[in-house]
Amino acid sequence: MRMFVALWLAFLCGADATAGLPATSDMPSLAPMLEQVTPAVVNIATYTTVQVRNPLMDDPFFRRFFNIPEDQRRYRRTQAAGSGVIVDARQGYIVTNNHVIDRADEITVTLSDGRALPAKLIGTDAQVDLAVLKVSTDKLSQITFADSARLRVGDYVVAIGNPFGLDQTVTSGIVSALGRSGLGIEGYEDFIQTDASINPGNSGGALVNLRGELIGINTAILAPAGGNVGIGFAIPSNMVAAIMAQLISHGEVQRGRIGIRVQAMNAELAKAFNVNFVEGVVVVEVDKDSAAGKAGIAPGDIIVKVNERDIKRVSDFHSQSALLMVGDRVGMTTLRDGKQRQVRFELVAEDYEQIAGERLDPRLAGVQLQNFRSENDPSTGAGILVTDIGDDSAAWARGLRPGDIIVAVNRKAVKSIAEMADTPPNPKKELLLRVYRAGEFGYIVIP
């Protein structure tokens, strides 16, 4: 041992620093893979025109006193940046996060070779936080999809993006966890967790394996101190591919509704249902008119498999639900009274026609509404989804935003547009909306 230490010290003090490896040996490096992959990761710049609001301008007495016209408005131009991934070089399709391009009226994509191109928005899915853009040019590179279902905790991964405006930044780490949900970030959550550094500007960038295949789209970080702490989240590539196909084909996601709500199996429920395992989910509510209800699914059934995916946790069920579209045939394996059952049904389209908010109340002018039903979050169940809102509307000024779910109006619960229309708010009183947003409830008052 002493002789080894002496030789090691002699090496440090007097030997050539390059003598540790033969001159002909290559150092292990990710560079060859990254040289192929990084040209497919782009910078996305968005430009948005927003109204500059001054509370004094909303005061009619102030406007009359200073003789300010009613329609006098001021606007300013804002800019934001993020990342995107070219997934189809021939067609020019780029995948990014919905929050990167949300409300943008101009989108510019800058390629790794410096070319800046205008991008067309093909479609978005706010529930999963994905968007598809399209550029028209040649000589594009693309990243191929990997099967994210084959990921394991401990697999090495590389994150590529443009954090803080720094072009083409690469960080590495491992898969820290799979199936992360319940974070209140998106409507459907099935995140890959990684310790590869993800920072502001990385959103929409690529998470790849060591073969350079896309395994996820970087989306969010857990940052209690405002910076990276080694907990980042990415949307799995299988979910990205399914949502992207819908957006390209239809411009929107035509997600099918199974019609059930579930809770996790635990030791107490396993004993009550006389089963010897604690994996799977238990059906707690079924909509009778839904596809699952018509197929015979009932409260108390234990779901252990949907199509080819084993259902061990509630997150497994929710993430699989996010990938089931209108027209899909669903195979479900359930247990009832200790006996295994195989159920098959087809998901059909439902009427989710949008209506203008002013049809329900003049104070909702500029707001687009749509019925909403949730299998993913039992705390909402059903309500009225805000699909779009003008930034010059009174509701926008008071804090209502796209993606909000209205669950009560003037302290009365509403589960549909029809219920709100049956009991219209009093126009002489303020409009009190109880909304659900990102895992929390809150109130919005519109005078």
Which residue, chain included where needed, has tokens 């007495």?
A: 61
Does the domain at residues 35-134 carry the CATH identifier 2.70.70.10?
A: no
Superfamily name with CATH number, domain 148-250: Trypsin-like serine proteases (2.40.10.10)
29 pLDDT higher than 50: yes
4 pLDDT higher than 60: no
Do 260-346 and 35-134 have the same topology in CATH?
no
Tokens of 307: 């199509």
Average pLDDT over residues 356-374: 82
Q: How far apart are CA 401 and CA 385, in angstroms?
A: 10
Does the domain at residues 260-346 carry the CATH identifier 2.30.42.10?
A: yes
Report residue 128's pLDDT band, with 50, 70 and 90 as the boundaries: confident
Q: How far, in whole angstroms, is CA 121 from its chain's centroid?
A: 17
Is 129 among the residues known to form the active site? yes
Report residue 210's pLDDT band, with 50, 70 and 90 as the boundaries: very high
Q: Please tell me the predicted confidence (pLDDT) of residue 72.
A: 57
Report residue 38's pLDDT band, with 50, 70 and 90 as the boundaries: very high
Average pLDDT over residues 114-134: 91
Q: How far apart are CA 384 and CA 199, in angstroms?
A: 33
> Parallel, antiparallel, or unpaired for β 329-336 and 74-88?
unpaired
193 pLDDT higher than 60: yes
Give me the CATH topology for the region 355-446: Pdz3 Domain (2.30.42)
Q: What residue spans define the domains of the chain? A: 35-134, 148-250, 260-346, 355-446
Give one DSSP letter per residue of 274-327, joined into a string.
T-S---SEEEEEE-TTSHHHHHT--TT-EEEEETTEE--SHHHHHHHHHT-BTT
Tokens of 179: 């199936």
Q: Which of 83, 99, 181, 197 is catalytic?
A: 99
Q: Taking the CA atoms of 106, 111, 117 and 122 in sequence, report the sign of the dihedral they define.
A: negative
Report residue 12's pLDDT band, with 50, 70 and 90 as the boundaries: very low
Q: Which of 83, 148, 176, 203 is catalytic?
A: 203
* Residues paired with residue 373 on neighbouring β-strands, in sequence order: 382
Chain-wide mean pLDDT for the chain? 81
Instruction: Confirm if 281 and 294 have CB atoms less than 8 A apart.
Output: no
Which residue, chain included where needed, has tokens 């990684």?
A: 194
Q: Please tell me the predicted confidence (pLDDT) of residue 15.
A: 43
Is 250 among the residues known to form the active site? no
Is 416 among the residues known to form the active site? no
Q: How far apart are CA 59 and CA 359, in angstroms?
A: 26
**Range of 46-55, 264-273, 417-426 with top mean pLDDT:** 264-273
Q: How far, in whole angstroms, is CA 77 from its chain's centroid?
A: 26
| 89 backbone dihedrals φ, ψ, rounded to 5° | -70, -35
Average pLDDT over residues 347-362: 76
Q: Which of 129, 195, 287, 361 is catalytic?
A: 129
Instruction: Confirm if 44 and 163 have CB atoms less than 8 A apart.
Output: no
165 pLDDT higher than 60: yes
Average pLDDT over residues 122-141: 91
Strands (E), 223-286: 232-236, 260-264, 281-286
